[in-house]
Chain A
Amino acid sequence: MLGRAHLKRKAEAMEDKPQFLPANDDEERAEEKNIRKESASKSFRPTRRSFLTQLGVAGITATAAPLLARAPAAPPPVEVPQETPATVPGAVPVVLNINGKDYRLTLDPRTTVLDTLRENLNMFGTKKGCDHGQCGACTVHINGRRVNSCLTFAVMHQGDKITTIEGLAQGGELHPVQAAFIECDGFQCGYCTPGQIMSGAALLKEPVGPADDDVREMMSGNLCRCGAYDNIVAAVQSARKKSSSQS
């Protein structure tokens, strides 16, 4: 049997907490910074990612000890840049609405929505698998429809509403598909899971037949190398039943 710790780890994998600050306006930014400082001073609770990042840095520090003898022993938490510097000629200002917040960015027009989320906004919940629209790990919702965020440039989405796995839960409540994935154990390693869940959540609003095979067909754009397909189908079916009985 899998223990509670296992489930907790899975739940964390499903909702990789972002470590960004919204750039709506300077006041809001300053306010949020203060809140963050306060909470950080009260209790330092590392996320899975910050823990791993520091582990990596610590590892490098240890092997390079003679060279970095004067380096501080515990590096501070990774600071996320507020805005991407315009490093490439032709970079353009872009405002993106992600999970209900506007972000002002300066982007190389080659930057996909996926890379913007991960590299510019430190929202790591959306995963990069194949980067060619073949695996579905990068699935997000744009204006309520599921799309492959690796195959579309961020600059093409000003004025669109982008929802990522980080924005799926509402008011601290998991989305029914997120809850169903935990209930049905719809994953093993968890890497494809955010994409699977974003697909499953969109599927609830699409014309899809009632059978498991209908779900399989409509989830075929999301590959799972662990082969957790049976439980993924069960999770989507469970969420569909619950949402149809509620509506």
Chain B
Amino acid sequence: MKMKPLYAGLFGIIVIGILLVGWRVLAGSYRFQGSLIDPPAPAADFTLTDQNGQPFRLSDQRGKVTLLFFGYTHCTDVCPITLASFTKIHEQLGKQADNVRFVFITVDPERDTIQQMHDHLAKFDPAIIGLTGSPSELGPVWKDYGVFLDPHHGVGVENYDVDHSSRIYAIDTQSNWRLTYPAEMDWQTIAEDVAHLLN
């Protein structure tokens, strides 16, 4: 079988082109897929109570990546979806997840007692830390993290909803706000970013 130099040349150009594109793709630096905060800003510190009644201080988590979400246990919408995403991210990261804290902070302290947080989070992943506190303890945290919340309760209303912001915050190993994610961001993307934050 013969092949003219012209065709050999064309074949060579195609191979070189594919190699160049492949090199460009592989060599490119990683670009975070969440909303990047630049320069990273020190995350506001707080101390709240976890679902086991123990104090949890954010600044004690230095050296670990913290994924943080504000919600409430009676939520039937974005909160259970986000908690399920946390569970999947935990699984996806495998051994690396030992250096990740998954934190859920209530926007409904009236109903989200320590026991309620404990019972609710037991349905998801034991790695998720549920934090609650008094309104006076939580108020500054909501303010620092720009959390919007609007409870729809009135006299005699027990099963009320709370409208609230639903972003996920990624706090890096230096306790800096580094990334935020809108609620609709898929968990695989967040897991990928977290793995790079850990590296």
A and B associate in one complex: no
Interface residues, chain B, with chain A CB atoms under 8 Å away: none
